[in-house]
Structure 1
Amino acid sequence: MPGNKVTQIVTLSFFRFAGPLARIWAFVMMGGARLPLARTKHIGFWKLCGSGTGEGFTPVPNTAVYAILATWPDAPTAQRQTQTGIFARYINRATENWTVFLQPQTSRGAWSGQSPFEPAQTAASGPLAALTRATIKPGILTRFWGRVPNISKMIGQDPNVAFKIGIGEVPMLHQVTFSIWPSEQAMAQFARTGPHADAIRAVRDEGWFREELYARFAVHSDRGTWNGTSPLAKLQEAA
């Protein structure tokens, strides 16, 4: 790392809830967690997100899975703060939780009018995560969600993807996709072919989004499990 500059760390924490009471609590916390998050020491940009059914790439809400995205000044702070306060409350209520720690590599566009991610000054090799976030224009909702099943099927069949999920702040209108890949080459191969490439062309040609952001991250580390294991284990097996 050049000089004394500290690299920003982005965390994406996922929580799975079982039973009606826990799920009601998680739903209520979409509003109730806002003030505690805003008061969390050293936190920067943050967002509370729900998810869709299946692997998240549907407009039908999944009441069992929620996520918190946050930025932090450095890795030790991120590790510490995502185990205390409001994060600890989520961990204690959830039946399973997983947090992935990321270093921004590239970022373009805006999220709620902000540029939340600060790319590192040096490029990293190895596994990469991709995040896209868009505010969808209401007039094209049918066309947008009509393309999603084919893209979801394609990414689900890709042997390279280690983890994938669709989340969002507001159902239907605000969509975030997040995926982890073993290399930039594997990520690019998916993005440039098939239904995903067709959708990207439509986005550009027809202006589907009011606001959009595209970011890539180096995968720093993780904590916890998802579906009983660390999703990063698949990357280690592939290596």
Structure 2
Amino acid sequence: METVTTFTFFKYSSLGSKLWAFAMMAFSPLVLARVKGLQFCKLMGSGKENFNPLPDWSVYAILQVWESEVAAETFFETHPLFSSYQKRTSQLMTIYLRPMSSKGLWSGTNPFEESACIDPKNPYLAIITRATIKLRFLIRFWQFVPYAQAGLKGNPGLLYTKGIGEVPIRNMATFSLWKNKDALQLFAYQDKAHKKAITLTKKLNWYSEELFARFQPYRVSGEWDGISELQFLKSD
């Protein structure tokens, strides 16, 4: 039995639901720490479009690593905490992921075990990047982000992307969905701005901790704007 990674997005429309979601950033981790079968968990807020560091109060996300798919399903189907989230969201989507590769650390550990069940017929990829930015580089880093991410806008191989993080400004992460490996590599290695970002990262060493992980999405539950192409993966 292998571990399963899930990534859930929550969207809130009303002021009351947004305030509730913000408050739960403090209280939910206390409950999640006691969930059976949950091995690793990060509850995160999000930034505005184009990787703007200012918060997007309407979108939150949770990354979870489970001891099994049964443990994940039990939480999503029966746990009162998740039910509370469902009642308040205008959109909610959970993507099930099989880790393909993972390099680096997140809070001192690498929680993603490479899966033995990768489907060669499934071309889709999900990428999670996460970093803690050194304090002395914060301003320079965020000044460079719009330039480095410019190649994502209108990219035909990109299905969805969102900037997220546990702590605004300093702890940043990204989640992105791609049509296939070729689309990802075209951006990663041929986009000039992104290549320059990689070079600067190595030269300046502006992260105190970083992680890059690649996954195969194999199942989707719920609805979310912008990724309708994954409908064949839907489980409900």
- TM-score normalised over the length of structure 1: 0.90
Separation in 1, partners of 2:78, 2:90: 17
Residue 172 of structure 1 is matched in structure 2 by 169
Separation in 2, partners of 1:228, 1:181: 12
Tell me the secondary structure at the aligned position of residue 18 of structure 2: helix
Question: Do the aligned partners of 1:128 and 1:181 also contact (CA within 8 Å) in 2?
Answer: yes
Residue 75 of structure 2 is matched in structure 1 by 81
Residue 53 of structure 2 is matched in structure 1 by 59
Structure 2 unaligned runs (5+)?
A: none
Tell me the secondary structure at the aligned position of residue 108 of structure 1: strand
1:230 deviates by 3.8
Seen in structure 2, the aligned counterparts of structure 1 residues 123 and 226 have a Cα distance that, compared at 3 Å, is closer
Question: Do the aligned partners of 1:182 and 1:235 also contact (CA within 8 Å) in 2?
Answer: no
After the TM superposition, list the runs of 4 or more consecutive aligned residues in structure 1 that deviate by more than 6 angstroms. Answer: none
Question: Do the aligned partners of 1:127 and 1:235 also contact (CA within 8 Å) in 2?
Answer: no
- Identity within the alignment, %: 38
Tell me the secondary structure at the aligned position of residue 49 of structure 2: coil
Tell me the secondary structure at the aligned position of residue 139 of structure 2: helix
Q: Give RMSD over aligned pairs.
A: 2.0
Residue 106 of structure 1 is matched in structure 2 by 101
1:227 deviates by 2.2
Aligned pairs (5 A) from 1:222-233: 222-227=220-225, 230=228, 232-233=230-231
Aligned counterpart for 1:94 among listed residues 84, 89, 109: 89
Separation in 1, partners of 2:73, 2:125: 20
Structure 1 unaligned runs (5+)?
A: 1-5
> Is 1:22 the counterpart of 2:17 in the alignment?
yes
- TM-score normalised over the length of structure 2: 0.91
Question: Do the aligned partners of 1:164 and 1:179 also contact (CA within 8 Å) in 2?
Answer: yes
Seen in structure 2, the aligned counterparts of structure 1 residues 171 and 119 have a Cα distance that, compared at 3 Å, is same
Aligned counterpart for 2:39 among listed residues 4, 19, 44: 44
The one-letter code of the counterpart of 1:105 is M
Residue 141 of structure 2 is matched in structure 1 by 144
